[in-house]
Chains A and B, each alone.
Chain A
Amino acid sequence: NAGVTQTPKFQVLKTGQSMTLQCAQDMNHEYMSWYRQDPGMGLRLIHYSVGAGITDQGEVPNGYNVSRSTTEDFPLRLLSAAPSQTSVYFCASSEMGQGYEQYFGPGTRLTVT
């Protein structure tokens, strides 16, 4: 059982470049989300999705786009990378509703120079 997978594990970008962080889950979860983790700031929600075709903004959505064409996949796009987007990114999934554990992927460490 793969759970939540993320690729790549590490990425270095130059300012202005674009890229897509991939996230996939094999648990048929409706809810998926992206977080960024920065020192002293915990995990902050970027975007989330409550099902295929439905996405919404979290706390820090600026500079990021998402789409959800299938239940399994929830990619995060950086259209024009900035040094402020240097962070560790985590994807998570869960069943819909309160009381369900969120399963996290192993993370992608992104550096923007």
Chain B
Amino acid sequence: DQQVKQNSPSLSVQEGRISILNCDYTNSMFDYFLWYKKYPAEGPTFLISISSIKDKNEDGRFTVFLNKSAKHLSLHIVPSQPGDSAVYFCAASAQIRETSGSRLTFGEGTQLTVNP
């Protein structure tokens, strides 16, 4: 039962254009969402997050949108740069009890390629 799904295994965009990565979830208890970025042969690194009390969070070129009714979130990268080429993972957590908020459920990942 995949509770967090990233339906696009790969995405290719031109440098300077917008990249939009999508993520869907099924567990209505999820109330905090994160995006991680992963380069080959390295561990994932945190990119941006959003709480369920918000519908948008922006950090420089990166913006995450949350649509709770559709159980959908997306990551927008504008403008895209070749250095953004990486695998992007969507993750979610549910603060059911004091210790559960740290536990993350990840999607399958989307390989983003930004072409010069």
Which bracket fits the contact residues of B? 20 to 34
**A33: chain B residues within 8 A (beta carbon):** 102-104
**A50: chain B residues within 8 A (beta carbon):** 99, 102
Given contact pairs A42-B89, A43-B89, A104 touches B45 in the complex (Cβ within 8 A): yes
> Which of these binds chain A: B59-67, B75-83, B105-113?
B105-113
Does A48 make an interface contact (CB < 8 A)?
A: yes
Does B16 make an interface contact (CB < 8 A)?
A: no
Given contact pairs A97-B101, A98-B32, A99-B101, A107 touches B43 in the complex (Cβ within 8 A): yes
Can you list 14 A-B contacts (CB < 8 A)?
Answer: A33-B103, A33-B104, A42-B109, A45-B105, A48-B103, A59-B105, A94-B102, A95-B102, A96-B99, A96-B101, A98-B32, A98-B93, A99-B101, A106-B43
